[in-house]
Structure 1
């Protein structure tokens, strides 16, 4: 299996976190299961070869826009896999697609349903890219053009500031404080946050605390589960375990033993 990672240009850095790609060749009859957990980051993904299968979230097209999700699902991979992905900043994706992003919550939507012309161009041009670098340059070219069309939203800076506060606090921040910093009432802030980020502030803070626990564990895996829970902002181990079960389907101990525990958000 080969894995590649690249970062966006300065122009697109406020909107895109990174690009990544995987090339995975399986032996005949071989298969494996990949558990997908909430990361707090929306994604546009292109399957250049075979598509995986999922009972919980059907993969209906080769080019998908993945909204925020607040639970887990499994991908069943039984054929060769070639993926190119654009991982957006939480507040960035709406600058390319002019729609309320909470309409995509817990969904993997064919990009053609949102923008058929863009979907065709991405599939055609990225499929022709010879290398990962070629595909990154193609994606940058297409998305830069799209940004100039849709990026007229004056609330972008407001949401960017809110997300920076959430990231610095690792999810341990009060919603009333966030709404005050945004110069909005709590109700106005919750509505705006949901439209731009895709889920409610309360749900999002829960995901970021979970992502903080993944990051803390990868940095200090000698900690006990109790210490990890406290360092990651959980009031007690019971709260820590309940959140992990809701977001991963597994206890923390089982998840860290069986799954990739690197944080996408803090990585």
Structure 2
């Protein structure tokens, strides 16, 4: 996993005269602000909201990061790159935050890791923040542990559906899947071919409990989505769900662009 870049993408990027390739650490223009989430049990969580620079977002990603006891945090590389790219490339808002007891360069969220139990308040606070700030078409995007949080605590009227990256189905149970089935909201699971915990064939069986769930096998992929080609695949699948009709994400950019510090996983 990775730390926040020292480059501040809020300030002074230099324009590019010709299209440049969007690389692993490219930071495209957006309005980025540090935010705080306040939970019902009195915790303050730190995060960031990235939105399009000069127009309203068409959809909102509420991201739920991987297991903090194994290096997951708001800067986990797929989410960091989503925040760096999607506001500019697809007019999508990206909300990232550290769940309770989790630290990043942004800071440390109050509280302690609670094995997906008290984290229900964290998920609710993030959804409430997005709703209160009129962020449209709110989708939960979980990765690994974050998928369990989405399935366990994310069936909220203010959420349109859930996108799950590398779902292990570790903390979530059949009762949680049944709640999503009853609500009928879309659930899309992006399951790497060589995932460490749940692979596509088993995922199809497990997610059969949610009739409307769609399992997308990611050929050659692994649990951590290492490699720029897999990051691009993840972002494209996400955009296809939350902004249907947008089309293929570009791989070049002709406007201002910064380069962030290289993360541990690219």
Give the greater-gyration-radius structure (CA): 1
TM-score by length of 1: 0.28
In terms of fraction of residues, the more strand-rich structure is 2
Structure number with greater CO (CA < 8 Å, separation at least 6) is 2
